[in-house]
Amino acid sequence: MLSIAELTKRVQEQAKPRTHEERVRLLKKSRILNEDGTVNKFFTTIQPIEGHRRSVQTRLTGCTEN
C-alpha cells in the first residue's frame, strides 16, 4: 500500500503532462463539471453546518459560478 506522500507524488506526476482538454474531460467524467462545462452545484456550496454559514468559491477551468 502506498503512503499518502507517495500517492500524492504519483498523482502530481500524472497531472503534469495533461492538456487543458484532458483536464476538462477528467473533470466531466468525475462529475465536477457538467456536460456544458459549468461547475456542478454540489462542489460550489457548503450547506450550513451546526448553525454556521460558510461559502466556498470554486475555481475550476478559470470559471466561477454565481
pLDDT at 46: 58
Backbone angles phi, psi at 19, to 5 degrees: -85, 170
CA angle 55–26–38, rounded 5-degree value:
45
Which residue has 465536477 as its cell numbers? Answer: 32
Q: Is pTM, for the whole model, over 0.95?
A: no
Burial of 24 (0-12, 13-18, 19+ CB in 10 A): middle
Q: How many CB atoms lie within 10 A of CB 7?
A: 11
Write out pLDDT tens, residues 25-50. 999 999 999 999 888 888 776 555 54
